[in-house]
């Protein structure tokens, strides 16, 4: 496995008697898209704010790039681009001026052409001179991503980047994140409560609830370890049921022209082979149980 | 990095519409005073000279640019602090209200440097406001009313300063006034570190100025002991330079009180800003 970019160990953050984060631990590896999942109020934003030194931890260890955030803040932040909650800009300045301003404070001398290149990358070409007061939420999100990229950081932290976006905006931001990973080789920590988003683009993830870690690992492994509800649409339901019983697949139900099976991911291929070998045509296979079920199971546990 | 951050702060102040309200307000207020003086200044002068007319004869251009500038600079006590607090009180809390403070504080620059860059920009804005006030009061005043000796009305009499003896007094007087206004800028910036909205620090700054001014005015033995140490007592210290003979001891005492206030408030601002959890 590649280098650890973020190491969080037993992080605790209390506000008086309220425990916002309790013993959260996770690692983020270089080149990964890391999903940071949890329901509203789980402690995601608090954890991200600690990672970015916006708030101080009560206890625990937070290391980024092998250094402690409390002692090497400036070094660490020079390697990070981030959006915390929502990208807020100086609305009385143009998009171009905002990016220049954040580049300058990130310690880099940026040319106009570089600024225009970044703005074009996030799909805002032609809006460089427009003031932010006229930008939609989606456009601000895109500019927020431009702002995270301007100093070419290794790690990008995006806190709920698709909140408030329309479906097309969500797809655009998702593609942009994949582009960052695949084309620009960035490590991305993506916080979200939209589970399908994490399932589609994250390599690894952590799920937190009520300030505590409830699961951490590879997204596929975590999901594969769970029973899925898989719907097979077949040509001959009667024969299919008999075959399943004969092969010890007991947990299944029939609904319309579909057979719903409680099986793991590797078993999907086995059942498909079984049907095909016995001349039952399989018209479709749908996985009904996904991250959402897993997530709900964990947080309601 | 401090230079780049300060440059950013200048850009922000220059781009904010509220920054120009100060210039507009000064132009309007001073403009009105100049017009009023041009139309009815003689009556105002008679109020000053009236009590002395039986023992003194007043000759020459009494209503001159020097007197007009001296009158206008009295505005420093209330109007200019409000205009300055309007911008400097917004420097931190405005970022919190807009949400940009999250972006700003996740950049590789220390919070102390960010605070100092805002402070430097705030002081520069204060200087420009004072410079504009001085231009309107002294340059435009002299252009409209000409020059002449300056009559300064004191509680115990009337001081007449020769025309050739005035320019340096205005120069150093404005420097002391600048120090007093920097004190106001520091106060509002410090209050700004405690707030998440722009209005709070501005209102609080004005509230403190009014409260301290009242304490400084009421003749009560308890207040007599603290009065010399209130910054409001020294906000008009520039007027000491128009005394004859000059009381340098009073001037330096006022400067030291203002500087002490600035240093203490800056210390509080740095501590608070560095310790602050950004929750907005």
DSSP class per residue in chain A: ---EEEEEEEEEEEETTEEEEEEEEEEEETT-EEEEE--TTSSHHHHHHHHTTSS--SEEEEEETTEETTTSHHHHHTTEEEE-SS----TTSBHHHHHHHHHHHTT----HHHHHHHHHHTT-TT-TTSBGGG--HHHHHHHHHHHHHTT--SEEEEESTTTT--HHHHHHHHHHHHHHHHTT--EEEEEES-HHHHHHH-SEEEEEETTEEEEEEEHHHHHHTS-EEEEEEES-HHHHHHHHHHTT---EEEETTEEEEEE-HHHHHHHHHHHHHTT--EEEEEE---HHHHHHHHHT-
| Last residue of one domain, picked from the residues A170, A191, A218 | A218
- Given a cut of 80, whether residue B61 has pLDDT beyond it is no
Pick from A75, A88, A97: which is nearest to B100 by CB?
A88
Same domain? A52 vs A154: yes
Can you read off the two tokens belonging to residue B1?
């990095």
Residues of B in contact with A54 (CB under 8 A): 102, 105-106, 277-278
pLDDT of residue A256: 73
Same domain? A278 vs A243: yes
First vs last C-alpha separation in chain B: 25
Question: Which residues have CB under 8 Å from B109's CB, separation 6+?
Answer: A74, A105, A107, B1, B5
Q: What is the mean pLDDT of residues A52-62?
A: 93
Residue B158's pLDDT band, with cuts at 50, 70 and 90, is confident
- Tens of pLDDT, residue by residue over A108-153, are 888 889 999 889 888 888 888 999 888 888 888 889 988 988 888 9
pLDDT of residue A142: 87
Same domain? A214 vs A231: no
Same domain? A213 vs A177: yes
Residues of B with CB under 8 A from a CB of A: 1, 4-5, 7-8, 11-12, 15-17, 98-100, 102-110, 275, 277-279
| Chain B interface, best mutation among A81, A101, A137, A159, by max B CB count within 10 A | A101
- Can you give the CATH number for the domain in which A112 is found? 3.40.50.300
Can you read off the two tokens belonging to residue A190?
């993506």
pLDDT of residue B243: 87
Q: Please report the number of interchain residue pairs, chain A to chain B, with beta-carbon separation below 8 angstroms.
A: 80
Residues of B in contact with A91 (CB under 8 A): 98
| Last residue of one domain, picked from the residues A191, A218, A245 | A218
pLDDT of residue A225: 64
Question: Could A106 and B108 be called an inter-chain contact, meaning their C-beta atoms sit closer than 8 Å?
Answer: yes
Same domain? A8 vs A146: yes
Pairing of strands B150-154, B157-161: antiparallel
Closest CA to B181 of B28, B104, B73: B73
Q: Mean pLDDT in chain B?
A: 89
Question: Could B15 and A56 be called an inter-chain contact, meaning their C-beta atoms sit closer than 8 Å?
Answer: no
What percent of chain A clears pLDDT 70, i.e. is strictly above it? 93
Residue range(s) defining the domain that contains residue A89: 4-218
Pick from B102, B110, B277: which is nearest to A56 by CB?
B277
Q: Can you tell me the distance from the alpha carbon of B124 to that of B187, in angstroms, rounded to the nearest whole number?
A: 15
Q: Can you tell me the distance from the alpha carbon of B236 to that of B76, in angstroms, rounded to the nearest whole number?
A: 8
Same domain? A153 vs A270: no
| Domain layout of chain B by residue ranges | 2-275
Same domain? A123 vs A244: no
Same domain? A200 vs A231: no
Pick from A55, A84, A106: which is nearest to B107 by CB?
A106
Domain count, chain A: 2
| Chain B interface, best mutation among A80, A87, A88, A132, by max B CB count within 10 A | A88
Same domain? A234 vs A211: no
Q: Is A64 on the interface with B (CB under 8 A)?
A: no
Please report where in the chains the tokens 């809390």 appear, as a residue.
B93
Pick from B15, B16, B107: which is nearest to A105 by CB?
B107
pTM of this prediction? Answer: 0.84
- Given a cut of 70, whether residue A36 has pLDDT beyond it is yes
- Tens of pLDDT, residue by residue over B192-248, are 999 988 899 999 999 999 999 999 888 888 888 888 999 999 988 888 998 888 889
Same domain? A52 vs A194: yes
Q: What is the mean pLDDT of residues A218-233?
A: 76
Please report where in the chains the tokens 């405690």 appear, as a residue.
B194
- Given a cut of 60, whether residue A289 has pLDDT beyond it is no
**Sign of CA pseudo-dihedral A211, A213, A215, A219:** positive
Residues of A in contact with B12 (CB under 8 A): 90, 93, 101
Same domain? A73 vs A198: yes
pLDDT of residue A179: 86
Residue A266's pLDDT band, with cuts at 50, 70 and 90, is confident
Q: Is A110 on the interface with B (CB under 8 A)?
A: no
Question: Could A86 and B99 be called an inter-chain contact, meaning their C-beta atoms sit closer than 8 Å?
Answer: yes
pLDDT of residue B38: 87
First vs last C-alpha separation in chain A: 31
Asked if A216 contacts A206 with a C-beta cutoff of 8 angstroms, the reply is yes
Residue of chain A whose Cα is closest to the Cα of B6: A105
- Can you give the CATH number for the domain in which A286 is found? 3.30.70.100
Question: Could A104 and B8 be called an inter-chain contact, meaning their C-beta atoms sit closer than 8 Å?
Answer: yes
| Last residue of one domain, picked from the residues A218, A248, A273 | A218
What percent of chain A clears pLDDT 90, i.e. is strictly above it? 31
Question: Could B108 and A78 be called an inter-chain contact, meaning their C-beta atoms sit closer than 8 Å?
Answer: yes
Residue of chain A whose Cα is closest to the Cα of B113: A105
Q: Is A88 on the interface with B (CB under 8 A)?
A: yes
- Given a cut of 70, whether residue B75 has pLDDT beyond it is no
ipTM here: 0.80
pLDDT of residue A226: 64
Worst-scoring range by mean pLDDT, A79-88, B39-48, B91-100? Answer: B39-48
Question: Could B105 and A90 be called an inter-chain contact, meaning their C-beta atoms sit closer than 8 Å?
Answer: no
Q: Mean pLDDT in chain A?
A: 86
Q: How many Cβ atoms are within 10 Å of A111's Cβ, its own excluded?
A: 10
């Amino acid at each position: 496995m590649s280098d650890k970019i973020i190491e969080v160990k037993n992080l605790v953050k209390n506000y008086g008697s309220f425990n916002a984060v309790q013993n959260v631990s996770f690692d983020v590896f270089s080149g990964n898209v890391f999903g940071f999942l949890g329901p509203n109020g789980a402690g995601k934003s608090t954890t991200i704010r600690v990672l970015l030194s916006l708030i101080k931890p009560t206890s625990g260890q937070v290391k980024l790039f092998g250094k402690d955030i409390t002692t090497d803040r400036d070094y660490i932040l020079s390697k990070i681009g981030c959006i915390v909650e929502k990208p807020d800009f100086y609305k009385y300045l143009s998009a171009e001026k905002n990016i220049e301003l954040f580049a300058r404070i990130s310690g880099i001398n940026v040319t106009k052409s570089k600024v225009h290149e970044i703005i074009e990358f996030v799909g805002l070409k032609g809006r460089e001179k427009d003031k932010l007061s006229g930008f939609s939420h989606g456009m601000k999100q895109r500019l927020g991503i431009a702002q995270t990229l301007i100093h070419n950081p290794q790690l990008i932290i995006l806190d709920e980047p698709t909140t408030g976006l329309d479906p097309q905006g969500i797809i655009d931001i998702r593609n942009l994140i994949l582009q960052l990973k695949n084309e620009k080789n960035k490590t991305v920590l993506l916080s979200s409560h939209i589970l399908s988003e994490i399932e589609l683009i994250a390599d690894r993830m952590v799920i937190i609830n009520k300030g505590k870690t409830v699961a951490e690992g590879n997204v596929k492994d975590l999901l594969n370890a769970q029973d899925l509800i898989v719907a097979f649409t077949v040509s001959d339901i009667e024969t299919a049921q008999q075959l399943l019983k004969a092969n010890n697949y007991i947990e299944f139900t029939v609904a319309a022209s579909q057979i719903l099976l409680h099986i793991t991911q590797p078993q999907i291929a086995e059942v498909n082979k079984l049907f095909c070998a016995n001349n039952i045509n399989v018209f479709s296979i749908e996985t009904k149980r996904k991250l959402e079920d897993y997530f709900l199971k964990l947080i309601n546990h | 990095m401090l230079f780049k951050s300060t440059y950013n702060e200048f850009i922000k102040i220059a781009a904010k519409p509220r920054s120009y309200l100060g210039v507009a307000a000064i132009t309007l207020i001073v403009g009105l005073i100049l017009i009023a003086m041009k139309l009815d200044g003689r009556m105002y002068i008679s109020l000053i000279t009236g009590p002395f007319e039986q023992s003194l004869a007043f000759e020459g251009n009494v209503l001159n640019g020097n007197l007009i500038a001296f009158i206008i600079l009295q505005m420093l006590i209330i109007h200019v602090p409000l205009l300055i607090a309007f911008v400097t009180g917004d420097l931190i809390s405005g970022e919190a209200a807009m949400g940009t403070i999250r972006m700003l504080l996740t950049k590789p620059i220390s919070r102390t440097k960010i605070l100092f860059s805002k402070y430097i920009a705030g002081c520069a804005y204060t200087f420009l406001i004072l410079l504009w006030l001085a231009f309107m009061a002294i340059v435009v005043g002299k252009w409209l009313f000409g020059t002449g000796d300056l009559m300064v009305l004191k509680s115990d009499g009337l001081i007449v300063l020769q025309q050739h003896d005035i320019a340096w007094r205005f120069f150093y007087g404005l420097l002391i006034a600048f120090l007093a206004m920097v004190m106001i800028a520091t106060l509002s910036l410090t209050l700004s570190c405690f707030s998440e909205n722009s209005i709070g620090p501005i209102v609080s700054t004005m509230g403190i100025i009014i409260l301290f001014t009242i304490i400084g005015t009421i003749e009560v033995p308890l207040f007599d002991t603290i009065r010399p140490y209130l910054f409001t007592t020294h906000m008009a210290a520039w007027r000491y330079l128009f005394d004859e003979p000059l009381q340098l001891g009073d001037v330096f005492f006022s400067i030291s009180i203002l500087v002490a206030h600035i240093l203490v408030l800056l210390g509080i601002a740095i501590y608070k800003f560095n310790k602050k959890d950004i929750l907005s």
